């Protein structure tokens, strides 16, 4: 059986779990405790030298990068094919998969400049924080984490990632004005790849980012959340209490984010 090294609430883990559930493929979870730093264990680094989840192990094949894993999983069986067969839709899908790298970075910024920062500052000493950052194998990621913890929502990353978010919402709105799903009338790999990121923003109480300007994003999110794959990939990993606590913790950040977002949109 496929083995998925992943994190219960990690967005790119959710993304792959949604894909597996949409395909109707069973998998075995190996859940890593990310706040504890299990992704930096030397044994795990042999599977994923980037020190991140998810990693898929299919016998002797090791696949990293959530978008690549999604394509791999889709190719495993011809049942519930997610990659569109239409050439233009296929190209659009691949562009969404590439864009996920930037989208992930933006979602990481919104999460770590707000609730994760609060959690880290409340539970770790400065020495412990530095020690966990020092274990991150990619210097660029470590520098960003340090910056988000030092500066929170004042970090330079928040403003620069607004650009990614605005383009994502605008392009989603345009696509969803044409068809029910991002690349056509059937759910596809692009929908599966993006849903966890938008869902995370909603969990952070940031739905105000799309409600007025790009309302199709919210309708699409609801449609994705109503699918059985969402319950299989997300709800069974995160309790209602945990979700409510995250939303409550995020609430205090929204006024500042809203103000900066509106200023950014006026530019
Ligand atoms: N581009 C990678 C990003 C993976 C990634 O950053 N994963 C996060 C969780 S969503 C992680 O493992 N973070 C661990 C850490 O920050 O130390 C992918 O899509 O697989």
Residue ranges in 212-253 assigned as alpha helix (H):
216-225, 228-230, 240-251
241 and 235 Cβ atoms separated by less than 8 Å? no
- At residue 216, the pLDDT reads 98
Q: Which class for 238: exposed (0-12), middle (13-18), buried (19 or more C-beta within 10 A)?
A: middle
- At residue 191, the pLDDT reads 98
Range of the domain at 246: 87-266
Read off the CATH number of the domain in which 142 is found: 1.20.1050.10
Among residues 14, 42, 76, the one where a domain terminates is 76
User: 141 and 57, same structural domain?
Assistant: no
- At residue 236, the pLDDT reads 85
The best mutation among 6, 12, 13, 70 to test binding of ligand 1, ranked by most ligand atoms within 8 Å of the C-beta, falls on 12
User: 202 and 125, same structural domain?
Assistant: yes
**Residue 44 domain flag:** yes
pLDDT tens, per residue, the chain with 267 residues: 999 999 999 999 999 999 999 999 999 999 999 999 999 999 999 999 999 999 999 999 999 999 999 999 999 999 999 999 999 999 999 999 999 999 999 999 999 999 999 999 999 999 999 999 999 999 999 999 999 999 999 999 999 999 999 999 999 999 999 999 999 999 999 999 999 999 999 999 999 999 999 999 999 999 999 999 999 999 889 999 999 999 999 999 999 999 999 999 999
Read off the CATH number of the domain in which 42 is found: 3.40.30.10
User: 187 and 101, same structural domain?
Assistant: yes
Among residues 76, 97, 129, the one where a domain terminates is 76
* Closest residue to atom 14 of ligand 1, CA basis: 52
Q: Which atom of ligand 1 is nearest to the CA of 100?
A: 19
The best mutation among 53, 62, 204 to test binding of ligand 1, ranked by most ligand atoms within 8 Å of the C-beta, falls on 53
**Residue 81 domain flag:** no
This prediction's pTM: 0.97
**Residue 216 domain flag:** yes
The count of other CB atoms within 10 Å of the CB of residue 89 is 20
114 CA to middle of ligand 1, Å?
17
The best mutation among 36, 41, 52, 131 to test binding of ligand 1, ranked by most ligand atoms within 8 Å of the C-beta, falls on 52
88 CA to middle of ligand 1, Å?
29
User: 262 and 186, same structural domain?
Assistant: yes
User: 145 and 71, same structural domain?
Assistant: no
User: 142 and 38, same structural domain?
Assistant: no
User: What's the structural domain count of the chain?
Assistant: 2
91 CA to middle of ligand 1, Å?
25
221 CA to middle of ligand 1, Å?
22
Token readout for 111 is 């999460």
> What count of Cα atoms within 13 Å lies in the side-chain half-sphere of residue 35?
13
159 CA to middle of ligand 1, Å?
21
The count of other CB atoms within 10 Å of the CB of residue 78 is 7
User: 154 and 66, same structural domain?
Assistant: no
- At residue 225, the pLDDT reads 97
Ligand 1 site: residues with CB under 6 angstroms? 7, 10-12, 34, 39, 52-54, 65-66, 101, 104, 136
**Residue 31 domain flag:** yes
User: 93 and 71, same structural domain?
Assistant: no
Residue 54 preceded by cis peptide, ω within 30: yes
**Residue 82 domain flag:** no
> What count of Cα atoms within 13 Å lies in the side-chain half-sphere of residue 55?
21
User: 210 and 129, same structural domain?
Assistant: yes
């Amino acid at each position: 059986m496929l083995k998925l090294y992943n994190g219960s609430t990690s967005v790119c883990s959710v993304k792959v779990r949604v894909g597996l559930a949409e395909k109707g493929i069973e998998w075995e979870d190996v859940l890593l405790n990310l706040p504890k730093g299990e992704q930096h264990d030397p044994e795990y680094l042999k599977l994923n030298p980037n020190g991140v989840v998810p990693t898929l192990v299919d016998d002797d094949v090791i696949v990293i990068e959530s978008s690549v894993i999604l394509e791999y999983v889709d190719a495993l069986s011809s049942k519930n094919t997610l990659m569109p067969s239409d050439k233009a839709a296929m190209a659009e899908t691949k562009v969404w998969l590439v864009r996920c790298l930037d989208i992930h970075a933006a979602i990481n910024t919104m999460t770590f400049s707000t609730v994760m920062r609060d959690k880290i500052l409340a539970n770790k000493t400065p020495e412990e924080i530095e020690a966990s950052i020092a274990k991150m194998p990619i210097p660029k990621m470590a520098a960003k984490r340090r910056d988000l913890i030092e500066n929170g929502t004042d970090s330079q990353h928040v403003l620069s990632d607004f650009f990614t978010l605005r383009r994502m919402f605008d392009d989603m709105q345009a696509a969803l004005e044409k068809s029910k799903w991002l690349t056509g009338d059937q759910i596809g790999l692009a929908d599966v790849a993006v849903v966890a990121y938008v869902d995370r923003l909603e969990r952070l109480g940031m739905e105000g980012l799309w409600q007025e300007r790009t309302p199709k994003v919210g309708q699409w999110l609801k449609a994705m959340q109503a699918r059985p794959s969402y319950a299989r990939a997300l709800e069974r990993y995160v309790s209602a209490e945990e979700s409510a606590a995250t939303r409550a913790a995020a609430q205090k950040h929204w006024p500042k984010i809203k103000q900066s977002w509106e200023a950014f949109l006026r530019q």
